Amino acid sequence: MSDPEQRRVPVTTSSEVVATYLVETYLPLEQAAEAIAGEQSTGTFTAVARETPELRERFAARVLSVEQLPPTGNADLPGSTHDASRGAGKRSARVRIAFGLDNFGPSLPNLLAAVAGNLFELRQLAGIRLLDLDLPAPFAERYPGPQYGVRGTRELLDRPDGVLLGTIVKPSIGLPPDELRLVVRELAEAGIDFIKDDELMGSPPHSPLAERVAVVTEELGKVAARTGRRPMYAFNITDDLDRMAANHDLVHAAGGTCVMVCVNLVGFSALAWLRARCVLPIHGHRAMTGVYTRAPQLGIDYVAWSKLARLAGADHLHTNGLSNKFYETDEEVLRSITAVRTPLLGGYETLPVLSSGQTPGLAPETYRRTNTTDLLVLAGGGIHGHPSGPSAGVTAMRAAWSAATSGTTLDAAAAQVPALQEALDRFGSPYAGTPGE
Amino acid sequence: MSDPEQRRVPVTTSSEVVATYLVETYLPLEQAAEAIAGEQSTGTFTAVARETPELRERFAARVLSVEQLPPTGNADLPGSTHDASRGAGKRSARVRIAFGLDNFGPSLPNLLAAVAGNLFELRQLAGIRLLDLDLPAPFAERYPGPQYGVRGTRELLDRPDGVLLGTIVKPSIGLPPDELRLVVRELAEAGIDFIKDDELMGSPPHSPLAERVAVVTEELGKVAARTGRRPMYAFNITDDLDRMAANHDLVHAAGGTCVMVCVNLVGFSALAWLRARCVLPIHGHRAMTGVYTRAPQLGIDYVAWSKLARLAGADHLHTNGLSNKFYETDEEVLRSITAVRTPLLGGYETLPVLSSGQTPGLAPETYRRTNTTDLLVLAGGGIHGHPSGPSAGVTAMRAAWSAATSGTTLDAAAAQVPALQEALDRFGSPYAGTPGE
């Protein structure tokens, strides 16, 4: 702290992490921002011995910018300090803070300690949300990221272009292996690209993973021999870590071509640990992401979250889909899809996975707003709930996406493909009349 | 599935997990509760083939009870469904839902998929918080839990009774090993029981873990040779998993007696993975717990969270302390301490760790309200910021706790112990005049 000019370094360096937050506070914004920087680097609540100016100079986090925002209307977090003497209302700002990488190194758990640790508990804050992370190159050196991503998945599926269509086994749980075999056969014969276990399906007694793997891979092999096409099946290998690794090996040994991991339920570092041992594409499910994202005044935004999941090795990552059955708006979903598709440290080309309430009627609007077919679109109920059964469900989804990408209207396509007409009659066309339709 | 009588088990069984939620909704409460049970077991948004009544009967989660609560005043979660036709306001309830263990097995990640997965995103809910979990015996068979706990920690420290006193190395980061040596020497000679790294301190270039371990264990050995007492030092081994395990081995090989893990930053399953390889007590730091706990309308309550951390093997677990610098009220902190001390599946005797803004003045009230000395009380700034230095800080804390447990007032004790008087003058006595004082 000897030379003030040296301290105010306005730009990010390759040895810093920059975290962007939504900060809401009744204190002066700069004071709240400094409270985060202090708590998350050198500080405690009182001056302590050996905390020299030189030490602070070298290790303290630096507030790079405080950009005041219009009022958000968010509820206050409990316990937030009100400074009655100032009589000021709540202020909201986008705050950028730089953390020296040397404080913690390119490690996901240690990074989280700095950018997402105790700060959620600071009483100086009436709202605190980690929006984004700019990570320096050493993270790319530590974390290889997706092994397959968009291109690798397309190669395995022999689908060089076009949207990738998938489904979830339904019912979510309870289906015995012999019935699963029939479901898989029907879907595979109908030309689906991808099938996955529900995230609720682990390795229960009524359908142990080993048995599921045996049945599914055998069935997919038979279909592939007949049709020349072998869908990818993502077995949910989520479990305690040694079991998860063994599950992966089991899937691989049986000739399976994909594993699913619920990223939050094992954690980023467990995903990275698996990635180091994994030879199959990792389908990254986002169960429990809502606990980080849904409270507007608290949490971790999907933009920041998805970067960590991609670093940790997710080849596919769930983004939710338009007109989904969950809480997110289309705008939020589109932002998530964009986040996953935006290059990270020059790579980390993860495939966005759209799911939840996906039906043929959503294809034109999804294509119009994402402007890409580098998407894996999963229809669960939208395929299994088709009035003429799952095979017709696949046909309808494929016809809808074919129409969407070729500029044909759904109605025109449905006139040629009865399964699509049935699907539209059953599930509707939420965006009928919009430019995509 | 043949005998309906066997299937309708109205009470909780040893093969079920019961999750208790705070549910807030504009829909009829029963409808919202069923939406959770459906989404988190057999359901999707539309009827699907093969979802037979028998399958639902066997695998569907069951709503056990819906206990309406007075209005909470919590903000609505975004995207929550309002049923305008009913014109009803928001209702809040404590809802208990039973999940068949056979759906997922005694696995922490797979348990989370069911009780804390997609449900946070349900638009039927304007508020959703996992409050508690009742777990059946198979979890105890899978997860051995704390290896040391309260008794093992006391044995290692040769402190059969009395509160355990500790501190955090301050400054949090930036202290070179040679200065760390001096800090540790002073604290150890002053008779402290426990010292820990800050959660921000991993293995940075300016203070690599290996060097820290060498310096600290050597210094503790020297002090032990002089005084007969060897404090426990919790080295923060949090890192990517293989590194974390190697860090543990490094600490153990050097004669260290404790490791610290930031539970949320690696995840419960990574903690359990470490536990299976670990021979030292695990000091469980709770950094990032606020992201689960602080929004009242969303998240995972500490009561549920701490059970998972104990199962996964935390010997010590941070609960926060009275009059802390963070957002929690004393009532919330006391509830957390009680949660950690409540037997879980007949055991899992984890030591609560009180920290954040802890000073000698808090001892009487902490003892009065917890009625136990089975606590590890950490004072960071409260020891390092003592006007006469850390050694006087330890003396003051010890004198305050001695007074508290013997029924002496702090003022009377301070008249005998100048270091205590200095501490009270500097840090105050927030509860002076209350029954504990």
Give residue-wise pLDDT tens across range B113-148. Answer: 999 999 999 999 999 999 999 999 999 999 999 999
CA closest to B112 among chain A residues: A265
Q: Which of A242, A269, A298 faces B267 most closely, judged by CB atoms? A: A269
A contacts of B43 (beta carbons < 8 Å): 172
Kindly provide the ipTM of the predicted complex, given to two decimals: 0.94
CA closest to A74 among chain B residues: B75
| B7-15 mean pLDDT | 52
| B228-239 mean pLDDT | 97
SS3 B228: coil
- Tallying the residues shown for chain B, one arrives at 437
- Residues of chain B above pLDDT 70, percent: 93
Number of neighbouring beta carbons within 10 Å of residue B70: 6
pLDDT for B13 beyond 80: no
- Tallying the residues shown for chain A, one arrives at 437
Q: Is the CB of B298 less than 8 angstroms away from the CB of A287?
A: no
Q: Is the CB of A48 less than 8 angstroms away from the CB of B183?
A: no
Structure-token match 């599921």, residue found: A212
Q: Is the CB of A265 less than 8 angstroms away from the CB of B109?
A: yes
d(Cα B423, Cα B363) in Å, to the nearest integer?
Answer: 12
Which tokens go with B337? Answer: 């301490």
pLDDT at residue B10, as a whole number? 40
pLDDT in tens, A20-72: 999 999 999 999 999 999 888 876 556 666 778 888 888 889 999 999 999 99
Q: Is the CB of A200 less than 8 angstroms away from the CB of B299?
A: no
d(Cα B74, Cα A137) in Å, to the nearest integer?
Answer: 42
d(Cα A328, Cα B279) in Å, to the nearest integer?
Answer: 45
Q: Is the CB of A44 less than 8 angstroms away from the CB of B116?
A: no
Helix (H) or strand (E) holding B151: helix B149-157
**Model confidence, pTM:** 0.94
pLDDT in tens, B17-30: 999 999 999 999 99
pLDDT at residue A243, as a whole number? 97
Name the nearest CA neighbour of B369 among B393, B352, B384, B349. B352
Q: Which whole-number Å values give the CA distances from B334 to B303, B339, B370, in the listed order?
A: 11, 8, 7
Give me the residues of B, 396-415, that contact A with CB < 8 A. none
pLDDT in tens, A374-415: 999 999 888 999 999 999 999 999 999 999 999 999 999 999
pLDDT in tens, A88-106: 799 999 999 999 998 889 9
Q: Which of A104, A173, A380 faces B42 most closely, judged by CB atoms? A: A173
Number of neighbouring beta carbons within 10 Å of residue B371: 7
Most confident of A333-342, B50-59, B375-384: A333-342
Which tokens go with B30? Answer: 């029963």
Name the nearest CA neighbour of A387 among A422, A428, A424. A422
pLDDT at residue B344, as a whole number? 97
pLDDT at residue A418, as a whole number? 98
Which tokens go with A380? Answer: 């669960």
Q: Is the CB of A205 less than 8 angstroms away from the CB of B288?
A: no
SS3 B175: coil
- Residues of chain A above pLDDT 70, percent: 93
Structure-token match 């990408």, residue found: A405
Structure-token match 């305050």, residue found: B400
Residue A3's pLDDT band (cuts 50, 70, 90): very low
| Sign (positive or negative) of CA dihedral A112, A115, A118, A121 | negative
d(Cα A113, Cα A185) in Å, to the nearest integer?
Answer: 47
pLDDT for A126 beyond 50: yes
pLDDT at residue A45, as a whole number? 54
Instruction: Determine contact, residues A322/A159, Cβ cutoff 8 Å.
Output: no
Between helix B268-275 and helix B302-312 the angle, nearest 10°, is 30
Q: What is the 3-state secondary structure (H, E, C) of chain A?
A: CCCHHHHCCCCCCCCEEEEEEEEEECCCHHHHHHHHHHHCCCCCCCCCCCCCHHHHHHHCCEEEEEEEECCCCCCCCCCCCCCCCCCCCCEEEEEEEEEEHHHCCCCHHHHHHHHHCHHHHECCCCEEEEEEEECCCHHHHHCCCCCCHHHHHHHHHCCCCCCEEEEECCCCCCCCHHHHHHHHHHHHHCCCCEEECCCCCCCCCCCCHHHHHHHHHHHHHHHHHHHCCCCEEEEECCCCHHHHHHHHHHHHHCCCCEEEEEHHHHCHHHHHHHHCCCCCCEEEECCCCHHHHCCCCEEECHHHHHHHHHHHCCCEEECCCCCCCECCCHHHHHHHHHHHHCCECCECCCEEEECCCCCHHHHHHHHHHHCCCCCEEECCHHHHCCCCCHHHHHHHHHHHHHHHHHCCCHHHHHHHCHHHHHHHHHHCCCCCCCCCC
Q: Which of A40, A171, A206 faces B42 most closely, judged by CB atoms? A: A171
Q: Is the CB of A202 less than 8 angstroms away from the CB of B113?
A: yes
pLDDT at residue A7, as a whole number? 35
Amino acid at A101: L
Structure-token match 């969950």, residue found: A326
pLDDT at residue A2, as a whole number? 37
| B86-104 mean pLDDT | 90
Give me the residues of B, 119-138, that contact A with CB < 8 A. 119-123
Between A85 and A429, the higher pLDDT residue:
A429
pLDDT in tens, B179-219: 999 999 999 999 999 999 999 999 988 899 999 999 999 99
- Interface with chain A: mutation pick from B40, B103, B297, highest number of A CBs within 10 Å: B103
pLDDT at residue B57, as a whole number? 81
Residue B14's pLDDT band (cuts 50, 70, 90): confident
Q: Is the CB of A172 less than 8 angstroms away from the CB of B44?
A: yes
Name the nearest CA neighbour of B44 among B122, B160, B159. B122
d(Cα B93, Cα A365) in Å, to the nearest integer?
Answer: 38
Q: Which whole-number Å values give the CA distances from A4 to A1, A53, B155, B330, in the listed order?
A: 6, 12, 51, 41
B contacts of A336 (beta carbons < 8 Å): none
CA atoms within 13 A on the CB side of A157: 28
- What domains are there in chain B, each with its CATH number? 13-142 (3.30.70.150), 149-427 (3.20.20.110)
- Per-residue DSSP letters for B245-311? HHHHHHHHHTT--EEEEEHHHH-HHHHHHHHTT--S-EEEE-TTTHHHHSSTTEEE-HHHHHHHHHH
pLDDT at residue B2, as a whole number? 37
Which tokens go with B215? Answer: 């310096």
Helix (H) or strand (E) holding B130: strand B127-134
Residue-averaged pLDDT of chain A: 92
Which tokens go with A274? Answer: 């698996």
Which tokens go with B406? Answer: 């013997």
CA closest to B267 among chain A residues: A267
Q: Is the CB of A170 less than 8 angstroms away from the CB of B296?
A: no
pLDDT in tens, A412-425: 999 999 999 999 99
